[in-house]
Amino acid sequence: MSVEVKIPAVGESITSGIVSVWHKKSGDFVNAGDALFTLETDKVSTEIAAETSGVLDTVVPEGREVKIGEVVATIDDSKKAPGGATVERKEKAETKTAGPKENDEKALSPAVRRIVDEESLDAGKITGTGRGGRITKADALAAVNKVSVGDAAGISEKEAPSPTEDRQMSDGRIVRKRMSPLRRKIAAQLVMAQHTAAILTTFNECDMSAVQELRAKSQDAFKKKHGVKLGFMSFFVKASVAALKAVPVVNGRIEDEDFIYHNFYDIGVAVGTERGLVVPVVRDADKKSFADLERDIADFATKAREGKLKIEDLTGGTFTVSNGGVYGSLLGTPILNPPQIGILGMHKIMPRPMAIDGRVEVRPMMYLAFSYDHRAIDGKEAATFLINVKESIEDPKKLSLDF
């Protein structure tokens, strides 16, 4: 009997997605639980697994946009695996004796696999510079650049057809590429934020000396005890929570003609990926230790890079912290993440001469930017919030250190 493989519901607001890559091909025997394909939506990418064992028959090609509930394949569960365990042992033996080129498809890391899949690259044509000829992330990105600029040593459009209808002019001066669902969602969200909120940004700067000294002093013991490094982000999450408690309006949102105050602190932490910016949410940040925060942030960063974030990881935040300093940004104005009405922007730490008690001293300084919705937050409240963050960072003992 043939069992239909349908696109499952992956979130309340998601109605469609793109079958970005098939992990199994038509005619392959699949076991229950095997990953069949990756569904890319405007929020996350999700691997869809087989619910039963049998022979797969795909009916939708890679790159096709599909609706929730649409049938994309069937599995004939009346057929058994040919040769059973004997075939499995044979495949393993072949894998061991195969050369690097034959195993390129199976040896790709998650990060490389995502780039290859999304850019429709032929892994067999990418020269691997890693150990044993493995393709590294840098190799994959270099291949993407060659395709984009029409490099003479790159791959032509005919050699690497794109499921997202990329088109390149004959002279190579222009490349038209369809935006991914995530990129389109980000674009729509940013425009919506600009159109629906009265966004203002206020600035301040903080002296990072105390945090740097405390971090350097505690790093070895912290890592030995908790298994994670002590970063700057946990300090700013803690400082933001303290400031939100001091200025509760920043932790709320506007809904029609009402204003809703949140008595919980779910803090979004912006993470940049190859596919775009995502904002996973650290739940109940006020109840978590520095070690808990660092584990959550590190886990989210890994999931984001590998495309394994779930819908529930990205929804329900009350405030967001974004660190542009990791990319070298000295100063910027972050855009709100609706329906939130506040976002804190961190920036690069730069040594600058400062007047300290009548003397000029060089201190490690960071500019802070707080963007807010002026419909709900006044300038006084915005300045008070940012000064609270600044004071907590400059005197971290206020943050109930629990190293």
Residues 6 or more apart from 32 whose CB is under 8 A from it?
49, 50, 51, 52, 53
| Alpha-carbon span 67 to 165, nearest angstrom | 19
Selected from 3.30.559.10, 2.30.40.10, 3.30.300.130, 3.40.50.300, the CATH number assigned to the domain covering 182-399 reads 3.30.559.10
* Mean pLDDT lowest among 15-24, 189-198, 201-210, 376-385: 15-24
Of 61 and 41, the structure prediction assigns the larger pLDDT to: 61
Least confidently predicted of 183-197, 287-301, 346-360: 183-197
Catalytic annotation on 296?
no
| Residue 107: pLDDT band with limits 50, 70, 90 | low
Predicted local distance difference test score (pLDDT) of residue 16: 82
Catalytic residue chosen out of the listed positions 151, 220, 284, 378: 378
The pLDDT, as a whole number, for residue 99 is 45
* C-alpha to C-alpha distance for 380 and 371, rounded to whole angstroms: 13
pLDDT digits (tens, 9 = 90+) for 220-240: 999 999 999 999 999 999 999
pLDDT of 85 strictly over 70: no
Task: State the average pLDDT over residues 298-326.
Answer: 89
Domain boundaries, the chain: 2-76, 99-178, 182-399
Mean pLDDT of the 82-89 span: 49
In 3D space, the residue among 237, 194, 202 whose CA is nearest the CA of residue 335 turns out to be 194
Task: Tell me which of 103 and 326 has the higher pLDDT.
Answer: 326
| Average pLDDT value for residue range 178-204 | 87
Comparing 12-26, 347-361, 376-390, the range with the smallest average pLDDT is 12-26
Give the pLDDT band (50/70/90) at residue 286: very high
Q: Does the annotation mark 57 as catalytic?
A: no
Fold observed for domain 99-178: Dihydrolipoamide Transferase (4.10.320)
How is 148-195 classified by DSSP, letter by letter?
A: HHT-TTS--TTTS--TT--EE-TTSS-EE-PPPHHHHHHHHHHHHHHH
What was the pLDDT predicted at 110?
A: 62
Q: What is the CATH number of domain 2-76?
A: 2.40.50.100
User: Of 59, 53, 58, 46, whose CA–CA distance to 11 is shortest?
Assistant: 46
Active-site position among 151, 284, 374, 395: 374
